[in-house]
Structure 1
Amino acid sequence: MGPLILPDDPLPITLADLLSNTLVLRQTAPYLPVSAIYALAATSKAFHYIVHQSPEVFRYLDLSTVKSAVVPYEPLDSGGIRWRAERMDESLTEDEFYSGPLRGIFSKLERRCLLRNVHTMVLDGLSVPADLVREIIAEDKFNVRILSIRDARNLNERKLRQVLRFAVRPTRPEGTPRIKGIYLFGPREPAPIQDAPGKKKPPPMRSPPKGIIYSQGAQISAEWNQRSADALNAALARTEDKWYRCSGRMLAKRPSMEWAETLKACEGIIFFDAVLCRGPRHDPTKAFISEGPTTGLPNPASYLNPAIATVALGPSGCETCHSSPEGPAMYGQSPSSEFPLLSPLPLHSASIRAAQSPHTTDGSRPPPLFARCEECLKGRWCERCHKWWDEECYAGSAIAKRTELQQTEFIESVQTNGTSHIIPKQTIKIIGVRRDCFGCGHTCIGCKERYIRRCVSCQNEYCVEDNDASSATRCDWCNYTSRRTVEMY
């Protein structure tokens, strides 16, 4: 039995009264999936009016979790009975076929006058052809400011680049394009793991692989080491945003040179979740345009075409000078084109400033941003500990791509009784990286001393982490006690 309400007392505030407040509705709606919003609208006339009349409900629209947005058909290339059984117009193109579910959703929203209210649209993992992206960017029925199409399927990248170049052409109408940011290159946010009722768990592995790396203690240690490394990187960088930490490779797939040219054309107009590399070799005024005069090989400081920065180097800069020739990108001081769109997408704002703003753990000033392409870091970046050296501190090698460790030793000559003696003046300083392990990648001398061992039996070098079934003193071949056979094929 509820509390007794006297006639003179005001009526209690209901949920409809709270959601009628624009501020409360704008802060609440982005956390609700589309199915929950429509379920709420079906409960009463008051909620139906709030959902369909307020422009704040669908300001942030995430269709990646909507089942009706998924294409339930087989690919067109497969042919077969299922494709021939579909009744459709013969003039239907492939892009129209794959964009059918999303076009149906957009048509319903347009009939209800809700499509113009969408400022942030998330289409991650769905079937999004390039023609559909062109409509979102160019047509007046859309008012999207930030679009996310990460891991989209059936997306023709060549046609998408043509769409973007046409949208930012110098002769475009004033005030276009309305879209300001596109999430395309980075990975999508992982969906929360939910155990469905009645779902059976997979059976445990009966015979796990042998070796110290697969033991239970080693697995627990590796997991806690990774957690400790992530916590340490976040504490040093004072932020959870991976672009501002020593995160290494940020993109699973290296973008092509055509994408770099497209980002260059869209610079200052449309922003992406990636940025161009600002290394000195991409600057024609600082790099050498000519080839090597004698060997014919490229000069270490030769000019490079525009490239997308794929490696996050952390806030400390070069290991020696703690800076770089191009200088760090300082948020609030450097141009906005030097900063990527950060993940996850902003829920309550569709501005580029909100999408680029890093969040520090202590509320202090954001750390500097150092990011480069792998070509500018060749021979200078350790893929394990993420130390790196710039062009002024380490010149690298112009002969081979597999650069060796550079050893610099200062000596002086001393004359004694007419005899010249060479005396070491300073200890050997070793910088640079080389490939010591195919699993670790290019590593520095410090990581080599910690992880690379020499087998006491065969005298070959091996990595204690990536060499399965190895021990602290023997490689996997010498540590394996069973009968060994050589497979020729």
Structure 2
Amino acid sequence: MYIEDDYLDNSPPLPVSLLDLLSNSLVLDHIVPYLPLSSIFALVRSSRVFRDLLLKTPSVFRSVDLSKCSGAYVPPDLLTGIDSGGHSWRAERIDENLTEDEFYAGPLRGVFWNLRRMHVLQSVQILILDNLASVTSDLISDIVFTPEYNIRILSIRRCGNVNQAKLQQLLRHLCRPSRPEGTPRLQGLYYFSQPASTGNHLLNDTTASSGVTFLDGAQLGTIPCAKPLSNSAITDPWYSPTGKVIDKGFGKRSSWEETLQACYGVISFDAVLCTHMHTDMAPVLHAASQDYLQEHKAGIAPMATISLGPDGCAGCGRHPQGAPVWGESDISEFPLLWPPPTNAKLIDAVRPPPRFSENGKQLKQRLIVACSWCLTNRHCESCHRWWCADCYNPKKSKKWSDMERLSTLGLSYLPSLDELRNGAGNDDYEEHIKVFNGLCVQNCLVAEYMAGAGEGGMWG
């Protein structure tokens, strides 16, 4: 059939194929972080051309999130019935001689076996295993020591079967002064912060009954969900006055503080020690805090669990001496931020979000964090204002009558707002108690009193 040349010239161009699009390495690197593994493996199984493209491009598997992987999921009945028998991993009956760690890690080892078989395990540099019961201390030891793995950043937040003592021992061994040059491969560990959600409910009946290698790569998938590429300009909890940033379970003294100290400069964590604020507040620590810290691991800084934002003291604006400033301080002084960067570079994992003034000028980003002992009676749990040692020392306050009057519901003693806002330079202002029942008298307590002064209110 004859087709006129004019018709061919005016015909719309054919759309670019998906293969052509993904063959552009720049496009592929920007798309892959948004694709769940289930979609990647679906493409791998679709044709040999896609299989060769994806499996032979290392950046495709540079960051792997298995936190919602059904193949790594341990069914709840096995968590409470470990000795019941009758279950199978990879169509094999459980050996009664298996250790508890080997038992729990079975599903996840099956997933790693799949990745190894497809020759992509060595490409994985960021591995996210949050909330998985199949993560054990022995498995983590294999990940950091076995040459088959090349993990630089590892996330094991809320993995309930990890033995903390064994994990701490492993980390100290990795960071020992006599370690071989160029080791460890692991540079960052997420362990202390709270995962947004769990994915264990994703297990379906087919996978539960079929084992971890029922289909080629099928059990490696996650639910489709968009994932941020890097730290956004939105203020991170570590750099805003958000209060608690670390799970309350780590608020007490523990051997984790010694571990963080031993790993300093070698492995970074999603937590830091309270060093700068602790030095600044040492002269004015509450007596109970001083006694407790002297009895428990004296000389080791507690873990910082409270974020105060980049602003300084509510009285004079001074920052804690030596508080880390981005671009001026060593990157080892900054915590890992979520999510991990897709390029697996440690400097991008700790890079804080930019900070701007009202007129758009970029300001210095400063990390001001503290432990609960530093802030006893000097930190507002509502607005997160705090006072330095020069502006307020509760131990030397001459207004102890304030406490007695605050204990009465009438709050009749309260000075006027003008008096309270005169600033730290006013001697009488310095003598007044600034924090009562976790609220600052200057702002939040007055507002709470005024809001609840009516019938049925807080003070009604």
User: Cα offset for 1:88?
Assistant: 1.3
In structure 1, the partner of 2:94 is 88
TM-score after normalising by structure 2: 0.74
- The CA deviation string for residues 426-465 of structure 1, in whole angstroms up to 9 with x for no partner, is 65445554443xxxx4544421111136xxxxxxxxx84x
In structure 2, the partner of 1:359 is 353
**Secondary structure at the counterpart of residue 395 of structure 2:** coil
Task: Note closer, same or farther for the CA distance 1:298–1:252 as it changes in structure 2 (3 Å cut).
Answer: closer
User: Cα offset for 1:325?
Assistant: 3.9
**Secondary structure at the counterpart of residue 362 of structure 2:** coil
Name structure 2 gaps, 5 residues minimum: 1-5, 200-232, 405-412, 416-425
- Residue 25 (str. 1) matches residue 28 (str. 2): yes
- Residue 161 (str. 1) matches residue 168 (str. 2): yes
Task: Note closer, same or farther for the CA distance 1:50–1:405 as it changes in structure 2 (3 Å cut).
Answer: farther
User: Cα offset for 1:85?
Assistant: 5.8
User: Cα offset for 1:343?
Assistant: 1.4
In structure 1, the partner of 2:228 is none
Task: Note closer, same or farther for the CA distance 1:179–1:449 as it changes in structure 2 (3 Å cut).
Answer: same
Q: Greater CA radius of gyration, 1 or 2?
A: 1
User: Cα offset for 1:296?
Assistant: 11
Task: Note closer, same or farther for the CA distance 1:450–1:280 as it changes in structure 2 (3 Å cut).
Answer: closer
User: Cα offset for 1:305?
Assistant: 2.9
How far apart are the structure 1 equivalents of 2:299 and 2:128? Answer: 34
**Secondary structure at the counterpart of residue 57 of structure 1:** helix
Matched letter for residue 158 of structure 2: D
Matches within 5 A, 1:324-339: 324-339=319-334
User: Cα offset for 1:242?
Assistant: 1.4
TM-score after normalising by structure 1: 0.70
Matches within 5 A, 1:308-457: 308-347=303-342, 349-360=343-354, 364-397=362-395, 427-429=428-430, 433-436=434-437, 441-452=438-449
Task: Note closer, same or farther for the CA distance 1:135–1:282 as it changes in structure 2 (3 Å cut).
Answer: farther
| Residue from 182, 192, 195 that aligns with 1:188 | 195
Residue 312 of structure 1 contacts residue 370 of structure 1 at CA under 8 Å; is this kept in 2? yes
Task: Note closer, same or farther for the CA distance 1:404–1:270 as it changes in structure 2 (3 Å cut).
Answer: farther
Task: Note closer, same or farther for the CA distance 1:324–1:364 as it changes in structure 2 (3 Å cut).
Answer: closer
Task: Note closer, same or farther for the CA distance 1:398–1:167 as it changes in structure 2 (3 Å cut).
Answer: farther
Matched letter for residue 327 of structure 1: G
- The CA deviation string for residues 48-101 of structure 1, in whole angstroms up to 9 with x for no partner, is 1112221111111011121111112535554675x4666311220111111111
Matches within 5 A, 1:164-313: 164-190=171-197, 239-255=234-250, 256-279=253-276, 281=278, 298=290, 305-313=300-308
**Secondary structure at the counterpart of residue 127 of structure 2:** strand
Matched letter for residue 176 of structure 1: T
In structure 2, the partner of 1:215 is none
User: Cα offset for 1:372?
Assistant: 0.9
Residue 300 of structure 1 contacts residue 395 of structure 1 at CA under 8 Å; is this kept in 2? no
How far apart are the structure 2 equivalents of 1:5 and 1:363? Answer: 55
Residue 281 of structure 1 contacts residue 287 of structure 1 at CA under 8 Å; is this kept in 2? yes
How far apart are the structure 1 equivalents of 2:311 and 2:164? Answer: 35
Matched letter for residue 372 of structure 1: A
Task: Note closer, same or farther for the CA distance 1:404–1:191 as it changes in structure 2 (3 Å cut).
Answer: farther
In structure 1, the partner of 2:144 is 137
Residue 402 of structure 2 contacts residue 432 of structure 2 at CA under 8 Å; is this kept in 1? no
How far apart are the structure 2 equivalents of 1:84 and 1:44? Answer: 38
| Residue from 149, 161, 168 that aligns with 2:156 | 149
Residue 282 of structure 1 contacts residue 305 of structure 1 at CA under 8 Å; is this kept in 2? no
How far apart are the structure 2 equivalents of 1:118 and 1:342? Answer: 19
In structure 1, the partner of 2:54 is 51
Task: Note closer, same or farther for the CA distance 1:384–1:271 as it changes in structure 2 (3 Å cut).
Answer: same
- The CA deviation string for residues 118-142 of structure 1, in whole angstroms up to 9 with x for no partner, is 0111111112111111111111111
Residue 168 of structure 1 contacts residue 266 of structure 1 at CA under 8 Å; is this kept in 2? yes
User: Cα offset for 1:117?
Assistant: 0.1
Residue 397 of structure 1 contacts residue 403 of structure 1 at CA under 8 Å; is this kept in 2? no
In structure 2, the partner of 1:221 is none
Matched letter for residue 150 of structure 2: N
Task: Note closer, same or farther for the CA distance 1:176–1:300 as it changes in structure 2 (3 Å cut).
Answer: closer
How far apart are the structure 2 equivalents of 1:115 and 1:56? Answer: 12
- The CA deviation string for residues 133-169 of structure 1, in whole angstroms up to 9 with x for no partner, is 1111111111011111111121111111011011111
Matched letter for residue 271 of structure 1: S
Matched letter for residue 170 of structure 2: V
- The CA deviation string for residues 285-330 of structure 1, in whole angstroms up to 9 with x for no partner, is x957xx99xx999489976632111111011111122123423311
- Superposition RMSD in Å: 3.8
Higher helix share: 2
- The CA deviation string for residues 8-59 of structure 1, in whole angstroms up to 9 with x for no partner, is 9997642212212222222211111111111111222211111222111111
How far apart are the structure 2 equivalents of 1:405 and 1:345? Answer: 46
Name structure 1 gaps, 5 residues minimum: 193-237, 410-424, 454-462, 465-470, 479-489
How far apart are the structure 1 equivalents of 2:102 and 2:83? Answer: 20
**Secondary structure at the counterpart of residue 41 of structure 1:** helix
Residue 313 of structure 2 contacts residue 388 of structure 2 at CA under 8 Å; is this kept in 1? yes
How far apart are the structure 1 equivalents of 2:401 and 2:77? Answer: 47
Task: Note closer, same or farther for the CA distance 1:36–1:125 as it changes in structure 2 (3 Å cut).
Answer: same
Matched letter for residue 181 of structure 1: G
- Residue 99 (str. 1) matches residue 105 (str. 2): yes
**Secondary structure at the counterpart of residue 56 of structure 1:** helix
How far apart are the structure 2 equivalents of 1:373 and 1:391? Answer: 15
Residue 70 of structure 1 contacts residue 126 of structure 1 at CA under 8 Å; is this kept in 2? yes
Task: Note closer, same or farther for the CA distance 1:392–1:10 as it changes in structure 2 (3 Å cut).
Answer: same
Bigger mean CA offset, 256-265 vs 8-17: 8-17
- Residue 61 (str. 1) matches residue 64 (str. 2): yes
Q: Which has the higher contact order (CA 8 A, sep 6+)?
A: 2
User: Cα offset for 1:351?
Assistant: 0.9
Residue 431 of structure 1 contacts residue 444 of structure 1 at CA under 8 Å; is this kept in 2? no
**Secondary structure at the counterpart of residue 46 of structure 2:** coil
Task: Note closer, same or farther for the CA distance 1:191–1:130 as it changes in structure 2 (3 Å cut).
Answer: closer
Matched letter for residue 116 of structure 1: Q
How far apart are the structure 2 equivalents of 1:287 and 1:47? Answer: 61
